[in-house]
Structure 1
Amino acid sequence: MTQQRSMAVVGAGVVGQVYAGRLAEAGHRVHLIARGATLTDLTREGVRLHRDGRTSTPDVDIVADPADLPGEVDVAYLAVRADQVESALPLLERVPARVVVTLVNLAGEARPVADRLGRERTILGFSGVGGTRGPDGVTYHEVKQQPTTIGRAGGREQAVVADLRGAGFTVDTVDDPVAWLATHAVFIAGIGAAVLRSGDSTTLGRDRAATSQMVLAVRDGFQALSRLGTPVIPTPLKVIFTQVPRLISVPYWQRQLRGELGTLALEPHVLSTRDTEFRMLAEAARELTGWSPILDRHLASAGFSAERPR
């Protein structure tokens, strides 16, 4: 039987609603902190999750402010876009939580954010879901190729991992979440720029030359990370981009881009955040890689130009 714990989720977008809802369905007391029009909608309609043709309406407590929480919670989750982190941190700091888990790509800001929240209680992670919001709620899917990822933190992460697995999420744990987030930032920047340049992931997946350029750009970024001492993880991602011949890797990525990974997980988010989160991620990838000319040109070709120090 699941041991009931108390949780707060800061951020009521797709990721926040999915994790809040699933954890509530697993028997936990979950409070979802929402703002603006989302607060109004959720207060009236509640959380509504749609997946694989099924709908659920989990019992999630909707609150407008940390002051509305009944007391200290066991875990607080940060589930906002990267470009919303700075404005969300003051809210999160007011949540009385024993442990804080981030489910956002903090890229190069992972250590500063952990320092601000308190390294002794912060667990870095990333979500494993994608989806869209509409008038009827959130329609989502789990990304098979990228499960929920949680950084190891001297054993402090074990209860969090148990909670998430108990809620039905597939969870991977990693020793170096800072390196994982850096790798992910470069990966998404490279693929996202290619999707934007092509217009959508299906079109990209049908274009061998464009996919090959994408692979070269991500490879260049990964090699730059390695030169700067940042491990490229997970290993399978490093291998497919830096060691597998393009004769094999390019057709592989063409299939992935035309499939669910491209059309459901990557394309909708990249297209909807082109001028917000994705732009920030592209710049973070530049900063993380230092000097990676192929990746730079690739980003610039999609409209993300920047002057680089020589």
Structure 2
Amino acid sequence: MRFAIMGSGGVGGYFGARLAEAGHAVTFIARGEHLAAMRRDGLEVSSIEGNLHLDSVDATDDPREVGEVEAIIVAVKAWQVREAAEAIRPMLGPETLVVPLENGVEAADTLAEALGEAHVLEGLCGILAWQEAPGHIRHAGVSPFVRFGERDNHPSKRGERLKAAFDAAHGVTAEIPDDIQAAVWSKFLFICAMSGIGAITRAPIGVTRRLPETRELIEAILAEIAAVARARGIALPADAEARALHFIDALPAASTASMQRDIMDGRPSELESQNGAVVRLGREAGVATPVNALIHAALLPQECKVRGGGESHP
């Protein structure tokens, strides 16, 4: 298949590299020093699943140069999805699939609104990875997986074809869940809890899951998210919160979430798409979310500042 990777950092860089290693035609959309390094030296992936170096990659900062592709993996930050949707239009053909791998639960809605329902699958991924240096991706934890499916859960040949493409790639597990919406919210449970607790404490997950006081906060975040999901008609499994906590407990002790790292480094973050979204979606569903509201409020002044908004809301 011919793929375009919109956002070639830890997530997009890793999965795009594995697809290219498997023989698929992959174009990476990147910018700045990362783009320059890929054009000059290729793409290096240091991974617990086995290292990989692509000596030569197709990479550009202009989607108009790419032409139509069969599948677009959207792996930008959640707050960049709307802008990304407009940028990828030149790569869309009549049958092009668009699959979001963002943290959060609203990326597919945003893409479908901008590009049309027919193009968009629901999607999610699991991986602990980041751009360690220009042209270099570091995968340090979690056995990488992608899950995707039609937004109404009907079986489709195009979904199976996409799964076959990922199945051919080393270091990736691909799955089409029976209920993709429940899968997206199940992933959101643990990543939002991990992001929120990490961002307000500035501590790795090994510390916050061990201390009784912060572990109680993690459990409260999970309970609020699950309540919002169920109020919105998401068929979460009865043990979804326990599964999320088990996943958190299994992470390497030094693990941090990308939202936490962005906040600690003074960069714009996914606050509004994670804990902020819990508060907003909970309000719409009539569900109280006091712990997520506190996290959101505590982090909001810094978020406004780094976005240049002073005291205004981002």
TM-score, normalised to structure 1, is 0.80
Pair 1:91 & 2:82 matched: no
Aligned with residue 193 of structure 2, among 185, 190, 193: 190
Q: Secondary structure at the match of 2:43?
A: coil
> Is the CA contact (8 Å cut-off) linking 2:39 and 2:57 kept in structure 1?
no
Partner Cα separation in structure 2 for residue 239 and residue 52 of structure 1 = 26
Q: Secondary structure at the match of 1:277?
A: coil
Q: Corresponding residue for 2:220? A: 216
Partner Cα separation in structure 1 for residue 249 and residue 20 of structure 2 = 36
Pair 1:276 & 2:280 matched: no
Cα deviation, 1:228-281, whole Å, max 9, x if unaligned, reads 323225x6424547xxxxxxx6xx57743xx42x533xx141322335333122
C-alpha root-mean-square deviation of aligned residues, in Å?
Answer: 2.7
Alignment of 1:70-85 (within 5 A): 71-85=67-81
Shift in alpha-carbon separation, 1:67–1:297, aligned structure 2, 3 A? closer
Q: Corresponding residue for 1:102? A: 100
Q: Corresponding residue for 2:58? A: 61
Shift in alpha-carbon separation, 1:133–1:111, aligned structure 2, 3 A? closer
> Is the CA contact (8 Å cut-off) linking 1:204 and 1:254 kept in structure 2?
no
How many angstroms does 1:195 deviate by? 2.0
How many angstroms does 1:143 deviate by? 2.1
Q: Corresponding residue for 1:289? A: 282
How many angstroms does 1:31 deviate by? 1.0
Partner Cα separation in structure 1 for residue 61 and residue 300 of structure 2 = 36
Q: Secondary structure at the match of 1:128?
A: strand
Gaps of 5+ in 1: 242-248, 306-310
> Is the CA contact (8 Å cut-off) linking 1:232 and 1:238 kept in structure 2?
no
Alignment of 1:221-236 (within 5 A): 221-232=225-236, 236=239
Q: Corresponding residue for 2:169? A: 167
Q: Supply the AA of the counterpart residue of 2:65.
A: D
Cα deviation, 1:5-30, whole Å, max 9, x if unaligned, reads 21111111111111111101101111
Partner Cα separation in structure 1 for residue 211 and residue 131 of structure 2 = 30
For these two proteins, the number of residue pairs brought into alignment is 284
Q: Supply the AA of the counterpart residue of 2:168.
A: G
Q: Corresponding residue for 1:138? A: 137
Alignment of 1:3-152 (within 5 A): 5-52=1-48, 54-58=50-54, 59-69=56-66, 71-97=67-93, 98-135=96-133, 137-141=136-140, 143-144=142-143, 147-152=145-150
Partner Cα separation in structure 1 for residue 43 and residue 212 of structure 2 = 41
Q: Which moved more, 1:97-106 or 1:15-24?
A: 97-106
Shift in alpha-carbon separation, 1:270–1:263, aligned structure 2, 3 A? farther
Shift in alpha-carbon separation, 1:277–1:162, aligned structure 2, 3 A? farther
Q: Corresponding residue for 1:244? A: none
